[in-house]
Chains A and B, each alone.
Chain A
Amino acid sequence: MEILDILAALSDHFFLRVGEFGFKIWELITPANILILFGATILGIVFGALPGLTATLGVALLTTLTYGIDNNTAFIALLAIYVGAVYGGSYASILLNIPGTAAAAATAVDGYPLALRGEGGRALGMTTTASLIGTVFGLLCLILIAPMIIDLALKFTTFEKFWLAMFGITISGTLTSRDLVYKGWIAGLIGLWLACIGQEQLQTFPRYTQDLPELQGGIEVVPVLIGAFGIPQIIKVLRNRAALGKPAEFKRILPEFKTIARNLHHIFRSSGLGVFIGAIPGIGEDIAGWVSYGVAKNTSRHPETFGKGEVKAVVSTECANNACIGGALIPLLTLGIPGSPPAAMLLGALMLHDVTPGPMIEFENPGFIMGFTAILLLAACAMWISGMVLAKQVVKVLKIPPSLFMPIIGVLCVIGSYALGLQIINLYLMVPVGIVAYFLTEMEYPIAPLVIGVILGPMADENLRRGLMVANGDITEFFTRPWCIGLIVIIGLTIMTQIPAIRRAVERSWNRFAGGFVRPTDGNE
């Protein structure tokens, strides 16, 4: 009986909120707002798709431009560009193998092989719907269970963050080449070394800075990303006079609902992961993408299909990075602490519009979270509609002769590296990284681990040393906290599956156990 009462109260609360929510959306839909919504979304997709222009930069740009505009309209523009840019990164990842943003780097690993097979359009259709589901999942979490998520996210202290970064780094080992398993680790270590350059974050001690003030701030991820993925790709395509992906076989706009339905468990797992990682302050979309990729690969019965054009991988990364948006807004709105770098820009924008997020936000600005979530839903829908219309057209860029197209991409890479902070040092960084990356790819080193190293290295480094500081040099703290133990077990399992002998043994016993139940096509869907 009591349970029924609670359920009734909960559903009352739920329907009340849904009603409130619908009303808020109705209020927001004006012709001008719709125009701005779609304009900002498409601008966001362009920002995401162009290498070097990131979601953070897009939000920063609109923050200044929307100063002085009415609050609702300004937030529509800001959230639309945020959602659009996180989604748009997948375009360049899939079609060109040059991630448009760090968040979409993990998408390139399986997205580009799909494009090479002529399934680029299909992959884009899938990521569009996956991104929509991810974003909506994130906003549902924000509106319904934010307090619970925040409690969980706050359990992630310095110690847990270190192990989470380590988990991401161990993915390096699973991205290997055919001839030598350890090539992934070697590329990963180069990335970790690059991440060390600059003043370290805790005691500002300069490392490998060569007395150059430009290096003091450390290495930026974006130029490394552009150099590592972009330059080798441009050289390779031009040298081989090869076409990029096959554009012809894009047949349909609407998503394959069957494929979506088959991948539902991947979608929910990745969205959940995305929300959670987004909610941990300071960790953003890029890390969510890699961690989700790693989890998808680890839990797959056919990990060998990853890296060769696995739809599951693309869906998992794109769901996770978009779900991250809702996640990142949770600590932003409820504690005033941004969950990701673009959310930090968003905090600035909120302050500019006289909204100070924090525990008191509902007292000072009643109904604000509801309105903000309604805007996020509008942004997600605008992204999906724009994406569905754009995807079919965008694939046509592959018809442009590479000898014409790749030089343009080259120029965009240069502009993209420079656009970030307008620092010439980023160009000096992007070009050599690109050349080194070219030779590494020629020697069949996987390049993704290098980028993983640069993204996750600082997180691991900073949290390891801060953890030791907090614990007065006592290392046991890293091994005794419950969440730490869980993460260590997962990392241990990941590493074990990388050892060929163990993997073969597991596969043998799995086959014996599962017998004829495993369908041979299972790995490709």
Chain B
Amino acid sequence: MKRALGLTTAVFLAAAGSAFAADYPTRDITTAVVWGAGGGTDVCNRTIMAEMAKVLDININVINKTGGVAGANGMNYVKGQKADGYTLVGLSESNVTSAVQGGFDSKFTDVWHPFIVGGSPDVVSVIPSAGVNSFKDLIEKAKAGPGSIKACASGAGSIHHLNLLAVQDGTGAEFQFVPYKGSAPCQNAALAGEVSVVVTSVAEQQQLIKGKKFVPLAVLVADAFTIDGFGTIPSAFGDYPKLSEFLPIMQAIGFAIHNDASDNVKQTLGDAFTKAMQGDVMKKFADEKYYVLSGAHGDDAKAVFDSLESQFTWKLFELKAAKFSPAKFGIAKP
């Protein structure tokens, strides 16, 4: 009986498999977002999925599978599902640290075939009482008194911390880094005057920038960034070209499918993704959420994630915050 059942299942699966290969997608797709509802990754996935659903003419359900080390629960859940393209994982650059922290057992791009929607660039801001008007001004001041200016950039080993470190490496200035549990407590500390420099994303700071609580000095990407109703924030690369050796380290928010999904699935999703990204809805989304859109998928996106993974994991290892050496997973040094 059992054997018969097994056989039937096998036959069914084979039949189903071939059907999928020829024709994808034929039923609803589920996207499991590894971060909480309402967070950047969640909102981004809900928007892009709604657009892709229109292109693919099926439903895409977005659910949240949170928890675990660096989003490991959601990633392991999707990894355990069939590689048939019907279960996607919504994720971000922060998930690349899961492996070295003991939550996930492989190098990121060995398992995932990523699609990057984009992210909000990091911006260096000061509080008005700091009396600094330009990025150059700030760097010169920091150079004059190494470690005398207090800066916050979320927690140690976070993307904002990596951006601050890159600023130090690229300009030779030295700040006193004060860690907080996230961007919100860090920005709060700046409002209270506990630190004077803030490095977080434009999306996180925009309200405080427009409300004149923070003075934005420079964005840490190659191009200047315009905030509606405020003005343009110059790129830090202008005065310090050497920064381009270390930056940008930008958010990469998007989703991924199994690497061993069939080419047909990758192709179909890739086309739908590209089409969705070109639509007006995503442009409007980028404006409202202060994102820079990417649109990279497949090998291009893998290159981005490989670089982020290498920088993040080795930094954490250096901070002794990693459980395993990145070398264990074959992650190259930056």
Within the assembled complex, what's the spacing in Å between the Cα atoms of A48 and B193?
A: 37
| A331 engages B188 (CB within 8 Å) | yes
* B38 contacts partner chain A, Cβ-Cβ < 8 Å: yes
- Asked, given contacts A67-B46, A216-B69, A352-B43, whether A359 binds B38 with beta carbons under 8 Å apart, the answer is no
Q: Give B319's nearest chain A residue, CB to CB.
A: A204
Within the assembled complex, what's the spacing in Å between the Cα atoms of A92 and B173?
A: 56
Q: Which residues of A contact B288 (CB under 8 A)?
A: 354
Q: Give A348's nearest chain B residue, CB to CB.
A: B38
| B155 engages A351 (CB within 8 Å) | no
What is the 8 Å Cβ interface bit string for chain A, positions 407-422, against chain B (1 contact, 0 not)? 0000000000000011
Within the assembled complex, what's the spacing in Å between the Cα atoms of A338 and B38?
A: 14
Q: Which residues of A contact B192 (CB under 8 A)?
A: 154-157
**Candidates B103, B179, B188, B195; contact of A203 at CB < 8 Å:** B179
| A216 engages B101 (CB within 8 Å) | yes
Q: Give A361's nearest chain B residue, CB to CB.
A: B207
| A359 engages B213 (CB within 8 Å) | yes
* A85 contacts partner chain B, Cβ-Cβ < 8 Å: no
**Candidates B68, B157, B212; contact of A204 at CB < 8 Å:** B157
* B64 contacts partner chain A, Cβ-Cβ < 8 Å: yes
* B181 contacts partner chain A, Cβ-Cβ < 8 Å: yes
Q: Give A335's nearest chain B residue, CB to CB.
A: B191
| A213 engages B36 (CB within 8 Å) | no
Q: Give A212's nearest chain B residue, CB to CB.
A: B102
- Asked, given contacts A348-B36, A356-B206, whether A202 binds B179 with beta carbons under 8 Å apart, the answer is yes
Which size class do A's interface residues fall under?
A: 35 or more
| B156 engages A349 (CB within 8 Å) | no
* A441 contacts partner chain B, Cβ-Cβ < 8 Å: no
| B67 engages A423 (CB within 8 Å) | yes
Q: Report the minimal beta-carbon distance from B249 to chain A, rounded to whole angstroms.
A: 18
| B178 engages A469 (CB within 8 Å) | yes
Q: Which residues of B contact A156 (CB under 8 A)?
A: 192
Q: Give A65's nearest chain B residue, CB to CB.
A: B37
Q: Which residues of B contact A350 (CB under 8 A)?
A: 38
**Candidates B43, B176, B187; contact of A351 at CB < 8 Å:** B43
| B188 engages A335 (CB within 8 Å) | yes
| A359 engages B189 (CB within 8 Å) | no
* A272 contacts partner chain B, Cβ-Cβ < 8 Å: no
Within the assembled complex, what's the spacing in Å between the Cα atoms of A470 and B149?
A: 10
Within the assembled complex, what's the spacing in Å between the Cα atoms of A329 and B64?
A: 25
- Asked, given contacts A201-B155, A202-B156, A356-B207, whether A470 binds B319 with beta carbons under 8 Å apart, the answer is no
What is the 8 Å Cβ interface bit string for chain A, positions 186-214, against chain B (1 contact, 0 not)? 00000000000001011111100001010
Q: Give B181's nearest chain A residue, CB to CB.
A: A201
Q: Report the minimal beta-carbon distance from A96 to chain B, rounded to whole angstroms.
A: 28
Q: Report the minimal beta-carbon distance from B185 to chain A, rounded to whole angstroms.
A: 6
| B66 engages A421 (CB within 8 Å) | yes
Q: Which residues of A contact B43 (CB under 8 A)?
A: 351-352
| A154 engages B207 (CB within 8 Å) | no
- Asked, given contacts A423-B67, A466-B178, whether A335 binds B102 with beta carbons under 8 Å apart, the answer is no
Q: Which residues of A contact B136 (CB under 8 A)?
A: none
Q: Give B185's nearest chain A residue, CB to CB.
A: A282
Q: Give B63's nearest chain A residue, CB to CB.
A: A64
* B210 contacts partner chain A, Cβ-Cβ < 8 Å: yes
Q: Report the minimal beta-carbon distance from B309 to chain A, rounded to whole angstroms.
A: 18
- Asked, given contacts A201-B181, A349-B37, whether A211 binds B323 with beta carbons under 8 Å apart, the answer is yes
| A158 engages B194 (CB within 8 Å) | yes
- Asked, given contacts A154-B191, A158-B194, A335-B191, whether A352 binds B210 with beta carbons under 8 Å apart, the answer is no
* B73 contacts partner chain A, Cβ-Cβ < 8 Å: yes
Q: Which residues of A contact B316 (CB under 8 A)?
A: 204
* A358 contacts partner chain B, Cβ-Cβ < 8 Å: yes
Within 8 A of A (CB), among B64-103: 64, 66-69, 73, 101-103
* B330 contacts partner chain A, Cβ-Cβ < 8 Å: no
Within the assembled complex, what's the spacing in Å between the Cα atoms of A472 and B157?
A: 21
Within the assembled complex, what's the spacing in Å between the Cα atoms of A358 and B204?
A: 10
**Candidates B64, B157, B189; contact of A158 at CB < 8 Å:** B189
* A360 contacts partner chain B, Cβ-Cβ < 8 Å: yes
* A237 contacts partner chain B, Cβ-Cβ < 8 Å: no
What is the 8 Å Cβ interface bit string for chain B, positions 167-201, against chain A (1 contact, 0 not)? 00000000010111100110111011111000000
Within the assembled complex, what's the spacing in Å between the Cα atoms of A217 and B103?
A: 11
| B178 engages A470 (CB within 8 Å) | yes
What is the 8 Å Cβ interface bit string for chain B, positions 10-47, against chain A (1 contact, 0 not)? 00000000000000000000000000111100110010
| A352 engages B184 (CB within 8 Å) | no
**Candidates A204, A348, A356; contact of B42 at CB < 8 Å:** A348
Q: Which residues of A contact B63 (CB under 8 A)?
A: 64
What is the 8 Å Cβ interface bit string for chain B, positions 90-126, against chain A (1 contact, 0 not)? 0000000000011100000000000000000000000
* B231 contacts partner chain A, Cβ-Cβ < 8 Å: no
Q: Which residues of B contact A356 (CB under 8 A)?
A: 206-207
* B211 contacts partner chain A, Cβ-Cβ < 8 Å: yes
**Candidates A201, A202, A347; contact of B38 at CB < 8 Å:** A347
* B321 contacts partner chain A, Cβ-Cβ < 8 Å: yes
Q: Which residues of B contact A466 (CB under 8 A)?
A: 178-180
- 5 more CB-based (< 8 A) A-B contacts, given A352-B43, A357-B207: A67-B37, A211-B323, A335-B207, A348-B42, A359-B212
5 contacts between A and B (CB under 8 A): A157-B189, A157-B193, A204-B156, A337-B191, A347-B38
Q: Which 3 A-B pairs have the closest CB atoms?
A: A348-B38, A358-B207, A359-B211
B residues engaging A (CB < 8 A)? 36-39, 42-43, 46, 63-64, 66-69, 73, 101-103, 150, 155-157, 176, 178-181, 184-185, 187-189, 191-195, 206-208, 210-213, 288, 316, 319-321, 323
